[in-house]
Every structure is written in structure tokens, then in C-alpha cells.
Structure 1
Amino acid sequence: MTRVKYVELQSVYEYCVVYSALESDLDYIITRYYISFEIISSTGLQIHCHNKHIAMDPLAKRNIIIVGTKWLTSSPSSSLPLSPPGGGIIGTTTAYFLSRHPKFNPALHRITILEATSIAAGASGQAGGLLALWAYPSCLVPLSYRLHAELAEEHGGATRWGYRKLNCGSIDVTITRESLQAQHQPQPAQAPSSTTTTTTTATPNGVPGTEETKDWERLPKQDAAAEDLLADSALPKDLDWVNRAVVDAYQDMGMPGATETAQVHPRHFTTSMAALAQERGVQIVTRAKVTKIHSSPSRVESVEYLNRDAGTHVTIPDVTDVVVTAGPWTGHVLPKSKVTGLRAHSVVYEADVSPHAVFTRVLLPDGYAPPHRAARGRRRRHNRVVDPEIYARPFGEVYACGEPDRAVPLPDTADLVRVDDDHCDDLLAYIATFSPTLAAAPVKARQACYLPQREGGPLVGATSVHGLWVAAGHTCWGIQNGPATGKLMSEFIFDGKPISSDISDLDPRRYSRTFLLGVMEMSTSLKRSTGETHEYTRRR
């Protein structure tokens, strides 16, 4: 029989449940608030509270705010001024799974997404939408890949957001003067050896100058483990939108159960998650620029935002939980998270082609320059090897992404992201050398976004401030890992711990003292139901 103990607390931030040796075999401790203390010392006894399931009282009210934020300045115990970039996949999937959690009660629980611009305004709307069992981290990928299939089955994802399986592989391509001539591409000029690292170009005043070339920097999509899964194979017959004559080799992600690949249209998927959450009572407030998260040294209290249309400030009181899903801006909200932004450019073609995701390694001829650069008397920006990624997408689209760059710092909001036309034109030119189909296709979008990057992987879980959560740092795999992250966040908030997967490696408190419970020293007493009083101290 399940043994349960109920403890009435005035405030989770003033009291803590303390286990005695006799209570250590209890299955549940029910409190009015979620408690996440790691270790508490009481009368010389160490108690590991995180090993217990601390369940939420089903009658407790919850006021949950999901925000994407940009940090400006902060005081550790008063308020965090913010400027949000826009709701993305992590925020919308968190709202979706919160609203479908078995303990969700719309009469008691309020969930709000505060959105400064529009849903999917950042990377979530401009990603490739690739889903893969060979993605990372391994504690999120299998769960999330399965949830994608279940969501598509439940909500008609094949038609609503283009969910489908697709082939995935990598091609090695060698471009020659003859192949360019056959495709009516501009011919390379006679040029110095490819080992040259500087080239002559015209400066704005007409005086020749120098321009350095660089190695292509690959996006962090495939880690070493994923590359090891590639196997030599014949070029698929239906991969007819590349020039087979210039393909030297093809490697297939073809191991059943390990290298399966699928995709969604990221914008349609993100906006659909938001709409489905709304159907269950989640409020989405757009044009709402979050300005402050008010907190005490131990808990969140309220959230303030600016109604950008009316120009008025609104305060949401009695907030119990704030989930920071700030993507690349997370490092500004929580500096010790070390989440940064990495800009990446992409283009979208109007083209209906066979469903393949293609990684490339393209060797360009010596002296080749993309047409837009050659017309200005400039050489190409890169050395001879470039690696565009190309994903055929549903709804008559093909998505291609180029290399990341750090030339422009992360702006304040997603709608201020700058697109460098030269980066997009480079990408279009390189792809045109081996794909006549895409070279002739209309280009419907040239875009850039910032990927939330963090060495060591994403952070998902509690911070040192009670009620303040973080879910960010998913790099290239935010769309892939969004459903698992959202489901696990719903379990953190409503169950007190993640149930569907062991994500202890992603615990934010593992990586920085500012995330660790016990940052501040605090002493108080808890009068237990037995009438006995125990003293405890939260130590540094």
C-alpha cells in the first residue's frame, strides 16, 4: 500500500519537509508547494530529499508564466529586467504538455505565454525541421522522436505541420570547370593556388585591397557518433535533384532503429503547438514585452510586461512558476548558464522534390567565385571545401543552411536579427554548382537566426530560485527535442520530478553555484505534524 504523509506549509520558501529515519520509507510527501531541496542537515543526519517524490497538492493553485527573455541588468533578490525575443518551440511545447498533464486543472492552474512579437519569430520558425534518432543528447532524443510520431498521429501532423519520414545521407561532390560549363555556371578565373589565403579585391574607393579566405565552419548538427553511423551506399535513384555526374560518393544513414530520420515544418509545428495549447486554456499574450520578473531571495513573485500596442505596463501577481525558454538569450537572463547565440543563415526554395535530407562536402575548382562576388571583382569567401546542408521539406519547399558566424552580436529581440545577403548568395551559388534543379528554383526566403548554443548540452530543470525554471541551449536540435523538453518540464512542475526520462545530466544546478540550492544561508524551523520542532540551515 502506498504510504503518504501530508504536511501543511505556510510557504515553501520558509519551511522544508524534513525526513526522519522512520519516515524514510514513505512513498510520497504531499505539500502545498513544490520543494526541490537537495540535502538538508538536521541534528547531524543527512537527508536526501531529492530521492523522494514530493508531489503537488492537487488543490494548490498554480500561476505559470512561460517567457523568452533578454536580460539587461539584475539584482539577485529583487527583479530581473527583461526584453523577450518571441515564443519558440520549447515554450510552446511546454505549454502544450502542461495543459495535457493529468494533474492540470483549468479551475486551479493558469498558464500564460508572454510573447513580444509572434510565435516562432526566432530560430523555431527558421530551422530545418529535421528529426533524427541519431541526434543528441541521448537522454532527450528517443523520447522526443517518439513523441513527435504520437503528436502527428493524434493531431493530423502529416497535413497540419508536414510530419513525415525521409531519407538522410551525405554526398561528396567534386566541381570542375567542365561541370560548371555543362550547367551554364560562371567559369573560374585563372587564379593563384588554393593554398593562397589572401586575395585582391576592390575597396570602395577603387583601390585594390586584400580579402582573406577561410575554411567553411560546419553547423554542430552531426556529432562524431552520428558520423560513425554513415555507411557507404549507392546514390538513391530518386535523389534526382543533384547532378549525379559530380557526385563521388554517397553515405546513407541507414541503420534501422538507430539512424531513422523524419521531419516537420518548424514554423507550422511551433504555431500548431501554440494553438493546441490555447484550446486547453493556455493564454497567449502577444505584443507583450516582459520588463521584469519580481522575486525575493527565495522565490518568484510576479511578472511585469509592457503592452506594446497600448503602451501600458501590466503586472501579473501571485506567480508561482516562471519557465525561461529564452533560446540564445538565456545567457543574458541567467549568465552562469553560459548559453550563447550562434548566427546561422539559410535559404528556402520553392521546389517540390523527393524527400531527402542531404549533408554535403563540395570541392570547388581553384579560382571559382560565386557570381555575386565575381561581378564586384571579388574572390569567394571560403577555401575550396564547403558543406551546405539541404532538406527537402513538405509543402513544396527545400531548405538549405550555410555555416554559422559570429560577426554580429546577438540583438535585443528576434525581430532585430540582421540578414547578410552575401552569406545567402554564397549558399545559393555553392548549391547551384551541383543542383541544376535548385539553381533554377525561385527563392522564397533569405533568413538568419541565432541558435542557442551551450558547451555540454542543454539545461532543463530548476534553478536556485524556487519557481524559476530554465529549458534552453538545444543548439541545432530544438525542434527535434522540443516535445521531450516540454513533457519533462510539465512533469517537473506538476509531479515534482521528471518521470519520462533521466535527465540528471541536464540539471542546471550541476553546472554553476548560482544554480545550486543553498546559495544563500537561511535558518528556520519546521513544526512537524508530530509537534516536534527541527532546526535546519541552508548552507553555502
Structure 2
Amino acid sequence: MSTVILGGGIIGSSIAYYLTRDSSPRKNEEVHIIESSSQLFSAASGYAAGFLAKNWFASSVAPLGALSFNLHHELAAENGGAEKWGYMKSTALSLDVSDAPGRTGLRGARGDDWLRQGTSRAEAAAKIENPSLTLLQNEAPAWLTKQRGGRVENISHGETAAQVDPPRLCRFLMDTATSRGVKLHHPAQATSIITDPVTGTLNGIKIQDLNTKTEFIIPCRNLVICAGPWTAQVFKTLFPSSGARIPISQLAGYSLLLRSPRHTVDQERETYGGRSHAVFTTYPPSCGFSPEIFSRHGAEIYIAGLNSTQIPLPARAEESPAAMQKEQIDELKKVAVRLLGKPAEGRVESSEDVPNMDDLEVVREALCFRPVTNRGTPIVSRVRDDLLGGDVKTEFEDGPVEGRRNGGVFIASGHGPWGISLSLGTGKVVAEMIDGVETSADITGLGV
């Protein structure tokens, strides 16, 4: 009996990858991925920053974070990830240009506060890693423009941060999974659950091809919903009589992908030794957000941090560009020039409506929607039968039982901006839950 995965982003691709690994007891069973967009990785999986952290997480997520970080390293080492998807070790820095009197450095706030309040994600690192807050101006990369009164602090120690190019990693996972026999259906969507007419047991799912509008049924006992910010909608569609509320909503995020004459491929290789930099800023309150900047393989620079909870979620991910607001992109461009443009003595200020990008080249403007939960941590869990509405049974026994072959409904979503970092760990533990073996990380705090 097959497994159906609803969502073909980084989480769905990772689950399929680990379900079909050689050591999986289900490697010869059918796996199907259902993706509603006609363009793969057109949501956050394709437009994320790709920053990886080992220990920047709340206690309930920490085991999954450490597992996933180690899996990223192993996957890259075994498959040439440095070239194939830009895997690089990273140095994480905090840049404080807040102009606040009596600054005392990073405050160590709750790990997800920065997400909605516009403060710096570096505060999570300060709480977890507790570094000595030493001025390290010589740690700043040459592509970062010096700020008057700015203070740079190293917030990563040893080998605890890394960087990837998300769409290239997604493509590797998806291509590997489909080469192993995983069947990808897109654009398509799940419309209803099929149950045994006598027992009420889940035994299939009805799928609609969004191009032809034809419907077909895939027999299955295992169903995984990992549809990003659309997860709650998908769950409600498939289990309309359920009283359970899946607390996953959307957080829109703008980003720019840039090139700078102060950062070249030769510098990436020779000056920085093939190492990336991640810069988390504490910006003046008047800015309204704290920019995040990442150098990536091939001398690309990614800047983001301008988020919104007010933009409605589109029906499909590929419709996101239509929701982009020009004034927001312009604001991000202005900040990019301040942080990455020519030094002040060589800069030409512009009063044009469209910001003068100085000598920076804009490779891509983007808006994507990330799935967030109200508790700030993801949901990675089996859904109990009593939460499915009473009309569906899955014959799933609680607790890890070696060799179990019963079915289940699972949710893996709500990772916020940590989807890429937590992807491989999530894929592995969901595959292990489906396989009926003990999970490689404790996820008891990530239930529905």
C-alpha cells in the first residue's frame, strides 16, 4: 500500500528521499508526491535564504535541529553538495546599527520573537550559544559596507552554521527520489479521502489533475500533509468533520538576490576559503525590520527580513509574484544599498521613486509565503484518529513498534524560516514514523 505526500517542496522532497533510501523497509512500496503548482519550488522552498544552524532552536526543536544539521553535512559530503547545491560552512555575525543609547548587545529574546516583531534572529543565537560579545570588526566581509557606529559580533562558534542554495538542494532531493521510483503529480491536488465502506479505514485518496480536471484515486494507507502555509486548508478539505484546528498560517517575506563588485568568485574561494557569511542586523527602530544578509555559492548575496502577516495567501504558490508590493521591494532596495553599496564617500544618493541600486546588480526580486505556527515551532507529528473527525480510521498503533505496517495521517509543516535548515531531519523522522521505527530525534514536543 502506497504513501501519498501532499506538498512537493523541501519537506515533501526530503520525506520522499528518506522513504526510498536503501535501508527503508518501504523502499519497494509506492510513494506519490502531489504538488498543486505547475512550477516546482515556487514557494518558500525555492526562494528561501538557505541558512543552516545547528543549535539556534527552542528546546522542543533542538534535537531535530541538531539531527538535520548533521544530515545536511553528510548529504553534501556523500553527493558533492558543494558544487551541486552550494553547500558551504558559514560564519554568522551580528551587525548592530540600532543607534539605541546604552546598547548592551544581543538580548537573548525568545527564539521566535524576531519573526513577527522585526527584531534580529541573532537574538536566538545569543540565547543558545551565549558568546562573549567581543568587537570583531576584522570579521566583517569586504562586501558589507561599514556603518558609522556599527558593531560586528561573531555569533557562531566552531562548525555550527552552514549555507545552501535552496532550489538546487530541492531539485537534487526530488530528482533522486523520482529516480528511485517516486511518482510526482503536478499540478494536482487532493480532493477527498477514500475509506473502506465497512471499516472506515483510510485506503485511498482522490486526486484532481489541475490541467485536465480529470480525477483519479491513489490507494494508500499513509498520508503526509506538508503543504506549507496551505496545510490547514488541505487538512480541512480532506477531513471536513474534524474539529481540530491546525494552527498554521502564512508569513510573507520579501527578498533580493544580488551581485556586488566587492564580492567575486575568486574572493569567495581565496579570501574566505570557500566559506559563507551570514549577517543578522539590529537596525534602527524607524526601519521596522532587521535585515538578514547571506553570501551564497557563486558570489551571490541574498538579503531579506522584511516580513508581513497582512498579505493574503494566494491559491497557489506560483501566484505569489502578483501579491508583491512595489513600495516594499523599494524599501528593501534602499536598505540593501546602505548595507551593501559603495562606501559613503563614493556613493551617489538618489531621490528617485525607484532606489538607485548604486553598483549592485539585482538578480531577482521575490515574495514567498512561509508556514508559521502561533507557538513558533513546527508540527512534525502523526495526527491521532480522534482528530480526524471520527469518520476515518488509520489502524495505527501508538508508540514505536519495530516493523509496524499500519497506516497513518501525518503533518510536517509550520517550520517558519527554518524550513531548509530543518528539512532533512524532518524528512528522516517522518519516514521513520511511517516505517514504524524509533525516530532519530525526539519530536514529542512538536505534536498537533
Normalised TM-score (structure 1): 0.64
Unmatched 5+ residue regions in structure 2? Answer: 100-115, 236-243, 269-275, 343-356, 386-393, 395-407
What secondary structure sits across from 2:371 in the alignment?
strand
Contact 1:216 / 1:383 at 8 angstroms: preserved in 2? no
Aligned residue number for residue 62 of structure 2: 138
Aligned residue number for residue 309 of structure 2: 406
Deviation of 1:216 (Å): 6.8
Contact 2:18 / 2:24 at 8 angstroms: preserved in 1? no
- Cα separation, partners in 2 of 1:443 and 1:230, compared to 1, 3 Å: farther
Contact 1:390 / 1:401 at 8 angstroms: preserved in 2? yes
Aligned residue number for residue 361 of structure 1: 282
User: Quick one: which of 283, 286, 292 aligns to 1:383?
Assistant: 286
Contact 2:192 / 2:206 at 8 angstroms: preserved in 1? yes
* 1:498 maps onto 2:398 in alignment: no
User: Quick one: which of 266, 281, 296 aligns to 1:393?
Assistant: 296
Unmatched 5+ residue regions in structure 1? Answer: 1-61, 69-86, 176-214, 364-381, 509-540
What secondary structure sits across from 2:150 in the alignment?
strand
- Cα separation, partners in 2 of 1:463 and 1:275, compared to 1, 3 Å: same
CA distance in structure 2 between the partners assigned to 1:450 and 1:230 by the alignment: 35
Aligned residue number for residue 251 of structure 1: 153
What secondary structure sits across from 1:139 in the alignment?
helix
CA distance in structure 2 between the partners assigned to 1:322 and 1:221 by the alignment: 36
Aligned residue number for residue 40 of structure 2: 119
- Cα separation, partners in 2 of 1:229 and 1:339, compared to 1, 3 Å: farther
Deviation of 1:342 (Å): 0.9
CA distance in structure 2 between the partners assigned to 1:230 and 1:65 by the alignment: 48
Q: Which has the higher helix share?
A: 2
Contact 1:219 / 1:404 at 8 angstroms: preserved in 2? no
- Cα separation, partners in 2 of 1:424 and 1:226, compared to 1, 3 Å: farther
Contact 1:170 / 1:358 at 8 angstroms: preserved in 2? yes
Alignment of 1:425-464 (within 5 A): 425-436=330-341, 439-456=358-375, 457-464=377-384
- Structure 1 range deviating more: 144-153 or 287-296: 287-296
Contact 1:119 / 1:270 at 8 angstroms: preserved in 2? no
1:132-154 Cα deviation digits (max 9, x unpaired):
12332202111000000000011
Tell me the percent identity: 28
- Cα separation, partners in 2 of 1:464 and 1:298, compared to 1, 3 Å: farther
1:314-347 Cα deviation digits (max 9, x unpaired):
221x211111011111222345220111111111
- For 1:338, the aligned partner's letter is P
- Cα separation, partners in 2 of 1:356 and 1:486, compared to 1, 3 Å: same
Normalised TM-score (structure 2): 0.76
- For 1:350, the aligned partner's letter is R
Aligned residue number for residue 349 of structure 1: 258
1:353-396 Cα deviation digits (max 9, x unpaired):
55311111234xxxxxxxxxxxxxxxxxx725642111111123
CA distance in structure 1 between the partners assigned to 2:72 and 2:442 by the alignment: 19
* 1:169 maps onto 2:93 in alignment: yes
- The higher radius of gyration belongs to 1
* 1:482 maps onto 2:423 in alignment: yes
Aligned residue number for residue 41 of structure 1: none
* 1:63 maps onto 2:36 in alignment: no
Aligned residue number for residue 50 of structure 2: 129
What secondary structure sits across from 1:243 in the alignment?
coil
User: Quick one: which of 422, 441, 451 aligns to 2:327?
Assistant: 422
Aligned residue number for residue 282 of structure 1: 182
CA distance in structure 1 between the partners assigned to 2:325 and 2:13 by the alignment: 29
CA distance in structure 2 between the partners assigned to 1:341 and 1:230 by the alignment: 35
Aligned residue number for residue 231 of structure 2: 330
RMSD: 2.4
- Cα separation, partners in 2 of 1:218 and 1:290, compared to 1, 3 Å: farther
Deviation of 1:294 (Å): 2.9
- Cα separation, partners in 2 of 1:427 and 1:440, compared to 1, 3 Å: same
Contact 1:158 / 1:164 at 8 angstroms: preserved in 2? yes
* 1:314 maps onto 2:216 in alignment: yes
- For 1:131, the aligned partner's letter is L
Contact 2:120 / 2:282 at 8 angstroms: preserved in 1? no
Q: Which has the higher strand share?
A: 1
